[in-house]
Amino acid sequence: MLYRRNGEAMGLQVQIRKVGHAVVLEAVGRLTLTDGHTKLRDAIQVSAGYGAKRFVLDLAHVDVIDSYGIGELVRSYSAVRQSGGDLKLAAVTEKVREMLEISRLNTFFEIHPNQKTALLAFGPPL
């Protein structure tokens, strides 16, 4: 994997790209207290500052998530909603899905199997 050092996962990296009328954030690494910090929320706030309203968070390459990481997902979602936008999750790994189910947030987030279906779920451009 691109973000590895000595065979161990490095801290969270967030790759941002615009796809049509949405912003796709690809999280790579560990979304934990010691690794995640506020990178995800910061990336969303910067994009929202430029007027973005539709966000897809791809979690296919998130190795580990803890309660802090779950909290960071909720804080990111809240930041998007407060700016009048929407955030959808895509390609959620089994580990992340388990944490969402344990915290009962699997019903809170709109979860899609991949980026394409998440993007289509937004419907036509605003």
| Residue % of the chain over a pLDDT of 70 | 90
Please give the model's pTM, rounded to 2 decimal places.
Answer: 0.89
- Residue 8 pLDDT > 60, yes or no? no
Q: What is the pLDDT of residue 1?
A: 38
Residue 11 is given by DSSP the state: B
List the domain boundaries for the chain.
4-115
SS3 117: helix
Can you tell me the distance from the alpha carbon of 15 to that of 40, in angstroms, rounded to the nearest whole number? Answer: 10
- Residue 7 pLDDT > 70, yes or no? no
- Residue 112 pLDDT > 80, yes or no? yes
Q: What is the pLDDT of residue 98?
A: 94
Q: Which fold has domain 4-115?
A: Transcription Regulator spoIIAA (3.30.750)
Span 19-67, pLDDT tens digits? 999 999 999 999 998 876 788 989 999 999 899 999 999 999 998 999 9
Q: What is the pLDDT of residue 126?
A: 65
